[in-house]
Structure 1
Amino acid sequence: MHLATETLAGTVRITGVEAIPYALPYRRAPRFASGSVTTADNVLVRVHTDAGLVGQAEAQPRPYTYGETQTSIVAAVSGPLNGALAGVDPLRTELVAERCSRVAGNYVARGAVDLAVWDLAGQILATPCHTLLGGFADDVAAAHMVSLDAPAAMAEEAIEVGERLGVVTFKVKVGRAPALDVAAVRAIRDALPDADLYVDANRGWSYADAVRAGDALVELGVRAIEEPISIEDRAGRLRLADRWPVPLAGDESCISLAHVDRALEEGAVRVVSVKTARTGFTESRRILGLCLARNVPVVVGSQYEGAIGALATVTFAAAFASTAGRPAELTNFLDLADDLVVAGPVIRDGRAAAPAASGLGLEVDEDRLRRYRLDA
C-alpha cells in the first residue's frame, strides 16, 4: 500500500528501457505461408525504475510482416524508445503511449515496451494487469495453431495437442496449393470431427487459388478464413468476403488502429485478430473499442510468442467481455524446447487462467536468460 500511495503521488519514475536479444530452440518449429521460424530470435524488454521495480515483456521479430528484425527492435527499444520514456511515471499509460507513438513504425518494439510498462504498473499497484484492464473472466479457452506440414502430420499434431491439453479449437495454416491445403484440413476434420477449425493463408494464395481452396474449406466447416490473398488486392478481398458464408479475418492487414480502421472501411474484413505482441495493451484496447462500435468480432491472436508473450495474450483475452468468450491463440509457446520463464501459462481442459499475480505475473529464470542471450 505504501508503494502504491507513493506512486500515485508521482515518485516512481522510469529510469531506462533495456533490450536483451536472445534465441530459444524449438521442439516443433512453426511454418506458414509468409515465412518460417527455425529459432525464436526474440528480445526481452525491461523497463527499469528508480524504485527498483522492473517491468518485462518480449518482442518477436517478423521481418516478412512488419519489417522488424531482432537488431532493429534492440535499436529502437534501447535508443529512441528509451529516450522517450525517461522520467515518465509508468502509471500514466496514455502518456507512455503518446511518447512511444513518436517513434514511427516499429510496431512490435513499441508493443513490447507498452506491455512492459503495464507489467510495471501492475506491480506498483499490487494488482494483476488482467484486473487493471477490466477483469471480466478468470480464464479463457485456448486455440492452437497447426503449422504447415504433410496433411497426416498436421492431423497428428492436432490430435496430440487435443489429447494433451484438451484444446478443441485449431487455426490451421494454409496458403499452399489448394489441393494440399484442403487435404490437410480434411485430415484434421476426419481425425477430430467435433473440432472448431479456422484457417490462415498468410496471404499465400492467388485470387484463383483462394476461390478454389476457400470454397472447399467452407464445405469442410471452417468458421473463418484469415488473410487469403495479398492485402493490396482490395477488390479481390472484397469479392472473396462476399463469396464466402464465413468471415474473412484480418491479421496482417490489421497491424495498428489505423490499419484496422482502413480494413473495416474497405469492407472485406469481418473478424479482426488483435495481437498484444504488436499493439501492446493500450492500442489493442483501442482497436477492441473500434471493433465493438462496428459490431465486428475480435479474436486475440498469436505470432508464436514464448511464454512471456502468452501471459500477455491470456491477460488481455480474459479482461474483456467481447474477447473472453472466444478461444485465444495461446498454446504455441509449448512448441519451444525451452523458455525464459520459471512458469508459463497452465492450459488444462482446454482453458488457460489469467495470471493472478501482480502485473503480468511473470518471473524470468536468470540462469536461462544467461544461457540464451546473444549480447553476453
Structure 2
Amino acid sequence: MKIAAVETIPFAIPFRKPLRFASGGVHTAEHVLVRVHTEDGLIGTAEAPPRPYTYGETQESIVAVIDKIFTPQILGLSALERETVHDRLDRTVGNPTAKAAIDMALWDILGQAAGMSVSGLLGGFTDRMRVSHMVGFAPAEAMVAEAERFRDTYGVTTFKVKVGRRPYTQDVEACRALREALGPDAELYIDGNRGWTASESARALREMADLGLVFAEELCPADDVLGRRWLVAQTTVPFIADESATRAADVTRELLGGSATAISIKTARTGFTGSQRVLHECEGLGVEVVMGNQIDGQLGTLCTVAFGAAHRTTARYAGELSNFLDMTDDLLTEPLTIEAGTLRIREGAGLGIDIDPDKLARYRQDR
C-alpha cells in the first residue's frame, strides 16, 4: 500500500442559496477533491473545503501545498505509516483541511485493503446519526420557513441557528420565532461565528434563557481571552469551542482555561486521526462534543457521519449533516439521503465513495 501519487482536482458547485453567517458567507462550493493512489491500485478519496475567513486556506493554496510540499514528502510511504505521514505534514504550519483530506484518503485506503468500512475501523458504534440543520442569516420568517421545511421533508428536529448580527436583538427575535414555530421538542442551539462581543453575548443569552438552548458556540472572538472566560463562567448553556479549538492542543487551552465547556469536531479540519485525538481528550475530561460542518458537500458529509457514527460520544447528539442539500449538484454517483431525521453511513469497504466521472468533468476547474 505504498503511496504512488496524490491527485488534487479543484471543483466548483454553486449553492441554491448562500449560507450567511457572522464571519462570511458561502455562495459556491469551491472545494478540492483529493485522491491518494497506491502502487497496488487502491485509491483513497476525500474532500478539502477551504474557508479563508477561518483558516486562511483557499482552493489554490490547498492544491499548491499538496502538490508542491506534501506529496514529495509522503511518496513511497505505506498508507499504514500514518504517524510518519503526519510527522512530515506537520513540518508545515497551518493548512488544516489539506492535511485532513490526505489523512481521510489514507483511512479510505486502509478500509478498502481490510475489506471493512472506515466507520467500522474507527469504532463501529452505530450505522447512522441524527441530523442537525444549520439555519443561516435571513429574516425571522424565512428562517422559520426553512426549519419547518427540513422538519416536514426530512424529519429533522435539531437546528443550529447562526447568530452574531448587530443589533443582537434581531437574532434573539429569530430564535424566539423558531422556538414558537417548532415547539418545545425541537433542539435549538446557536453559533455566533465570533460575531458578538462578550457583553453582547451575555445579554443575548439572558434574553434567550427561556428558549431551552442546547448549546452556544463561538459567540465572541477567540482572542478575547478574558471576555470568553467571563462569559462562560456566568452562563448555564454549554459553550462550544469551534474555530478556536482546531487542534488537540487548542482544545486543552480552551477547556482548562475556562473559555469553553464543549467542543465541535470537524473531520474536514482534523481528519480521522486528529479527530480521534480530540475526541479521546474530551472523553477523558468528561466534556461533551458535537460533530460540526465545514459547509461540506456530500463527500465531506459522508466522512463526518462515518466518524460520528463510529463512536458513542459523537453519536449522542445530532450531527451537522444536511447543508449539502443547499447545493445545486454534487459529485457522488449515489446521492446521500436523509430519512426520518437520520443519515446512514455507506456500506462496503472504505468510505464507500463513488465519484461520478461526468459530474467531475463538468465541475472541475483545472481544465
Q: CA deviation at 1:93?
A: 2.5
SS at match of 1:347: coil
Match of 2:175 in 1: 185
Residue 263 of structure 1 corresponds to 254
- Aligned residue number for residue 161 of structure 2: 172
Structure 1 counterpart of 2:28, from 13, 22, 39: 39
Question: Does 1:248 find its partner at 2:239?
Answer: yes
SS at match of 1:116: helix
Residue 324 of structure 2 is matched in structure 1 by 333
Q: Which residue of 2 aligns with 1:128?
A: 117
Residue 41 of structure 2 corresponds to residue 59 of structure 1: no
Q: Which moves more between the two structures, 275-284 or 21-30?
A: 21-30
Whole-angstrom distance in 1 between the partners of 2:143 and 2:121? 38
Question: What SS class does the counterpart of residue 38 from structure 1 fall into?
Answer: strand
Report the 3-state secondary structure (helix = DSSP H, G, I; strand = E; otherwise coil) of the residue aligned with 2:313: helix
Identity %: 46
| Structure 2 residue matching 1:143: 3-state secondary structure | strand
Counterparts of 1:207-222 in structure 2 under 5 Å? Answer: 207-222=198-213
Alpha-carbon distance in 1 for matches of 2:92, 2:310: 28
122-131 or 279-288, which deviates more: 122-131
Q: Aligned partners of 1:295 and 1:207: how far apart in 2?
A: 25
| Counterpart Cα distance in 2 of 1:28 and 1:360 | 28
Q: Is the 8 A contact 2:5 2:36 kept in 1?
A: yes
1:87 pairs, out of 76, 94, 106, with 76
Question: For residue 62 of structure 1, what is the amino acid of its counterpart?
Answer: R
Normalised by the length of structure 1, the TM-score is 0.95
Q: Aligned residue for 2:339?
A: 348
SS in structure 1 at match of 2:45: strand
Q: For each residue in 1:292-349, what CA deviation from the matched residue of structure 2 results, as whole angstroms up to 9, or x when unmatched?
A: 1111111111011000000000000000111112111101111101001112332110
Tell me, yes or no, if the aligned pair for 1:171 and 1:197 is still in contact at 8 Å. yes
Is the 1:16–1:85 contact (alpha carbons within 8 Å) kept by the matching residues of 2? no
- Give how far 1:217 is off: 2.2
Question: In the alignment, is residue 112 of structure 1 matched against residue 127 of structure 2?
Answer: no
Distance in 2, Cα, partners of 1:343 & 1:191: 34
Q: Tell me the distance in 2 between the aligned counterparts of 1:228 and 1:219.
A: 18
Q: Which runs of 4+ in 1 moved over 4 A?
A: none
Residue 103 of structure 1 and its aligned partner are, at CA, apart by: 2.3
Deviates more, 1:304-313 or 1:80-89: 80-89
Alpha-carbon distance in structure 1 between the residues aligned to 2:154 and 2:91: 42
Equivalent of residue 316 in structure 1, options 307, 319, 343: 307
- The range that moved more, 151-160 or 347-356, is 347-356
Matched position secondary structure for 2:306 = helix
Q: Deviations over 1:206-257 (max 9, x none)?
A: 2221122121223221111100111111111111111111111100111111
Q: Give the match for residue 74 of structure 1.
A: 63
Shift of 1:99: 2.5
Give the Cα separation in 1 of the matches to 2:335 and 2:282. 30
* Letter of the structure 2 residue corresponding to residue 119 of structure 1: D
Residue of 265, 269, 272 corresponding to 2:263: 272
Equivalent residues, number: 365
Give the one of 263, 273, 286 matched to 1:282. 273
In structure 1, C-alpha distance between the alignment counterparts of 2:140 and 2:14, rounded to whole Å: 24
Matched, 1:364 2:364: no
1:264 deviation in Å?
1.2
Displacement, 1:156? 0.6
Report if the CA contact (8 A) 1:47-1:116 is conserved.
yes
Asked whether the 8 Å contact 1:311–1:344 carries over to 2, the reply is: no
Q: Is the 8 A contact 1:135 1:319 kept in 2?
A: yes
Q: Secondary structure at the match of 1:212?
A: helix
- The one-letter code matched in structure 2 to 1:347 is I
Q: Is contact 1:84-1:99 (8 Å) kept?
A: yes
CA contact (8 A) 2:233 2:258 kept: no
Give me the whole-angstrom Cα distance separating, in 2, the residues matched to 1:342 and 1:320. Answer: 27
Query: Which of 134, 137, 149 is equivalent to 2:138?
Result: 149
1:130-162 Cα distance to aligned partner (Å, 9 max, x none): 001010111111111111111110111100011
Normalised TM-score (structure 2) = 0.97
In 2, Cα distance between the equivalents of 1:343 and 1:69?
28
1:9 maps to: none
